[in-house]
Amino acid sequence: MTELLANHIAGRWQVGSGPGSRLMDPVLGTELVRVDASGLDLHAAFAFARDTGGQALRAMSYAQRAQLLAEIAAVLQAHRDAYYEISTANSGTVKNDTAVDVDGGIYTLSQYAKWGATLGNVKHLSDGAAVALAKEAAFQSLHIQVPTRGVALFINAFNFPGWGLWEKAAPALLSGVPIIIKPATATAWLTQRMVRDVIDAGVLPPGALSIICGSAAGLMDQLQPMDVLSFTGSADTAATIRSHHAITRHSVRCNIEADSVNSALLLPGHAASSEAVTLLAREVAREMTIKSGQKCTAIRRILVPQNLYDEVAQAIAAQLAKVTVGNPHNDAVRMGSLVSRAQYDSVQQGLNQLLTHTTALYDGRAKALVDADPGIAACAQPVLLGTQDPDGSALVHEMEVFGPVATLIPYRDLEHALALAHRGQGSLVCSIYGDDSDALAAAASDLAASHGRVHVVTPDVAKLHTGHGNVMPQSLHGGPGRAGGGAELGGLRALDFYHRKSAMQAAPCVLQALGATTGV
């Protein structure tokens, strides 16, 4: 039997009482470890985090908690090699894809450590200046933000077991809110190992960080009104979560990051030989293949002027043809596998559904895998689809295939292009390609209404830009509507979610006694 990974709750390591779920190597099909959460005292786990962890964190200032983040980043950095091994074994990722998850998490923690230090040795934050409520400002109103007196429950998706924890944990811990993380079962090993290293290093006060691996059953039932819930995953699970009584009856604050049919848009007026076309083709191929397309921010739809449809298809196909797919341990491989055979089946099923409305413009499925058995490995080759019916093919605007699949869509004019982008019904990100600043700015402003982020690629930032799908802690991550309506990151804006805002109405001397603080 493989090792049964322990959960960390109520200040100690505890294994579940059941046989556990098996975590697999998605390339070799072998069992790696098991996780199990049955028989745990969830009530005690939440109470310990809320009371013991919360009190200890709130007793510290923002600057002190920022220092904790820096220490966590140092612990993770010291164990980085182990994380790369676990990621390759359990997520089937090549080194560059592991870096997005592991190093991306460490970078995000480090950024919040830096920003948190600027908040100083204060225990709450002010929000705006005091305003007068009576003559001569003898009675005033000042808004302050204090850490919520609850626990932050994170229910995470399988595609970012490292970054997915730390991009949420950094603002939560900086705010003074304890965390319980429930990673997606398929890839829980990396999350568990990172938490283990941080706990073993003794960086955090008891109860500040707990981990429960295995089934989510019963977790939501523990939530109380001052707790917050952050969910990342599919729209279907998000709908179940939203209907839970913790949300509907107790108003538990809930952030949802769900799936998204993101787009890339080439503005009109460019020649096939222009740099804009080259930049678009390169970015689309990159986005389709990083982490085998298992990024919530990946490009799923590519909008191009009708007259460039064939040329852009060829340019993207030329990039995709260079991608070698197979065993991530083999240095010749550029793209590893999906996280599981179940995900492989789901991608093939989604692809076949899209193919009923589209044609394949590049189909890597005919190519052999490198060093991997196609009957076992969850390796999916990239496929570029195309449609000549941009308005009628509803499915291409609605369906997210969570793998290396995207659809090329022609448009008539800019108005049509923008309308098609908005048909994602709310997306995490749209990238725009062109060289006319005014036209790009106008399109970006239009797209902002239904996108959490708009990423503009011009020739002058060709080598500098951070990538369509890369989530930078400086920028907002989340999108309206279909994308879940969530808001994460965006620098210190992320702290809002973990704070309660209250209006202090008092004489100026009382407001002064509240202390000078920095606004979020």
* Closest to 251 in 3D by CA, of 232, 231, 227, 269: 227
Between 203 and 219, CB nearer to ligand NAP: 219
| 240 counts as binding ligand NAP under rule CB under 6 A | yes
Rounded-to-integer distance, Cα 152 and Cα 179, Å: 5
Exactly one of 66, 157, 267, 277 binds ligand NAP (CB under 6 A); that residue is 157
- DSSP character string of 464-499: T---SS---TTSEE--SGGG-S--EESGGGGGGGGE
Between 216 and 409, CB nearer to ligand NAP: 216
| 216 counts as binding ligand NAP under rule CB under 6 A | yes
Selected catalytic residue, list 213, 254, 296, 430: 296
Exactly one of 90, 140, 175, 185 binds ligand NAP (CB under 6 A); that residue is 185
| 407 counts as binding ligand NAP under rule CB under 6 A | no
* Token pair of 83 as six digits: 């994380």
346's CB contacts (< 8 A; 6+ apart) are 402
Cβ count near 439 (within 10 Å): 15
Residues 253-282 binding ligand NAP (CB under 6 A) are 257-259
Is 316:433 a contact under the CB 8 Å cutoff?
no
CB of 34 to ligand NAP, least distance (A): 13
Cβ count near 460 (within 10 Å): 11
Is residue 257 annotated as a catalytic residue, yes or no? yes
CB of 483 to ligand NAP, least distance (A): 6
Helices 95-117, 62-78: axis angle to 10 degrees equals 160
Exactly one of 62, 83, 84, 158 binds ligand NAP (CB under 6 A); that residue is 158
Structural Rg of the chain based on CA atoms? 24
Q: Which amino acid is at 196?
A: R
13: helix, coil or strand?
Answer: strand
| 166 counts as binding ligand NAP under rule CB under 6 A | no
Region from 123-131, 181-189, 320-328, 442-450 binding ligand NAP, contact rule CB under 6 A: 181-189
Between 283 and 488, CB nearer to ligand NAP: 488
Rounded-to-integer distance, Cα 396 and Cα 355, Å: 10
Rounded-to-integer distance, Cα 456 and Cα 468, Å: 9
| 162 counts as binding ligand NAP under rule CB under 6 A | no
Region from 68-76, 132-140, 231-239, 313-321 binding ligand NAP, contact rule CB under 6 A: 231-239
In the chain, the N- to C-terminal Cα span, in Å, equals 50
Exactly one of 45, 89, 151, 184 binds ligand NAP (CB under 6 A); that residue is 184
> What are the start-end ranges of the H helices in 321-393?
341-355
Is residue 379 annotated as a catalytic residue, yes or no? no
| 161 counts as binding ligand NAP under rule CB under 6 A | no
Exactly one of 237, 425, 470, 505 binds ligand NAP (CB under 6 A); that residue is 237
Rounded-to-integer distance, Cα 80 and Cα 115, Å: 23
Number of residues counted as binding ligand NAP (CB under 6 A): 25
- Identify the residue whose tokens are 């990238």: 431
Between 146 and 247, CB nearer to ligand NAP: 247
Helices 188-200, 62-78: axis angle to 10 degrees equals 120
CB of 448 to ligand NAP, least distance (A): 18
Residues 386-405 binding ligand NAP (CB under 6 A) are 400, 402
Residue with CB nearest ligand NAP?
A: 233
Would you name the residues annotated as active-site residues?
257, 296
Q: Give the footprint of ligand NAP on this chain (CB under 6 A).
A: 155-160, 182, 184-185, 215-216, 232-234, 237, 240-241, 257-259, 296, 400, 402, 428, 484
